[in-house]
Amino acid sequence: MKLISNRALREFVALHPNADELLKGWRQVIEKNSFANWAELKRSFGAIDKVGDKTVFDLGGNKYRIIAHVRFERQIIYIKAVLTHDEYDKDKWK
């Protein structure tokens, strides 16, 4: 799948350097695979949820959240936000 935008990941890592390796690993899994549907994505990333039309990836034992719009038919993931757990709980992405 193609990831849009890596900028959101870089900006988050600038503020939270401890998340760097975790986010790199997530990005590599996304970019090296194709996912035909929600079930395939869920098998690779067990800790994901649907929130409206967005997909929320829970990373690092719930430390971080990636909110994204997944377009399976085009094999594209658009990152809407990368947040800490606390930021997510405060609805900073809506």
Q: What is the pLDDT of residue 45?
A: 87
Q: Report pLDDT for 13.
A: 96
**Can you give the three-state secondary structure of the chain, one letter per residue?**
CEEECHHHHHHHHHHCHHHHHHHHHHHHHHHHCCCCCHHHHHHHCCCEEEECCEEEEEECCCCEEEEEEEECCCCEEEEEEEEEHHHHHCCCCC
19 within 8 A of 64, measured Cβ to Cβ: yes
Q: What pLDDT is recorded for position 94?
A: 58
Residue pointed to by tokens 């990368």: 82
pLDDT tops 90 at residue 11: yes
Structure pTM?
Answer: 0.89
**What confidence category does residue 93 fall into, taking pLDDT thresholds of 50, 70 and 90?**
low
Encode pLDDT of 28-80 as tens digits. Answer: 999 999 999 999 999 998 889 999 999 999 998 889 999 999 999 999 999 99
Q: Which fold would CATH assign to domain 2-89? A: YaeB-like fold (3.30.2310)
- pLDDT reported for residue 92: 56
- Token duo for residue 78: 């658009």
Q: Nearest-CA neighbor of 79 among 87, 69, 88, 71?
A: 69
pLDDT band at 85 (very low <50, low <70, confident <90, very high): confident
